Amino acid sequence: MLSEGSYLIAVAAMALVVLVSRLSGAFVMAWVTPTPRVEKFLEGMAVSVIAALVASSLVTADTKTFVATGCAVIVAIFLRNVIFAMIAGMLTAAAFPHII
């Protein structure tokens, strides 16, 4: 069991850490001169953080998740549509146990 006081401190600390994370990136960048190189760095980070999130999840994922994500990527390459890619991934994941 958790005491009411400990709960309040824990949730306040969590909320504060996440809120500061959300706000601090743009706040700090207000002091950085936006040269073309800085802009390239930020653009590169934007796409990299999404790619790293996916790659990191796939390391521990099962075969079904891996194949479904692969299908979504292929559909995204050819159809250039995120929703179609999601549907393709979802159908692959649903059909997978019946194929293998």
Query: Within positions 26 to 65, which residues make up the interface with another protein, using CB under 8 A?
Result: 26-30, 34, 36-59, 61, 64-65
Beta carbons within 8 Å of 54's beta carbon, 6+ residues apart: 69
Query: How many residues bind another protein, per CB under 8 A?
Result: 71
Task: For residue 95, state whether it binds another protein (rule: CB under 8 A).
Answer: no
Task: For residue 99, state whether it binds another protein (rule: CB under 8 A).
Answer: no
Task: For residue 21, state whether it binds another protein (rule: CB under 8 A).
Answer: yes
Mark 49-73 as b/e (b = at least 16 C-beta within 10 Å): eeeeeeeeeeeeeeebbebbbebbe
Task: For residue 100, state whether it binds another protein (rule: CB under 8 A).
Answer: no
For residue 27, what are its two tokens?
A: 């706040």
Question: Whose Cβ is closer to another protein: residue 53's or residue 99's?
Answer: 53
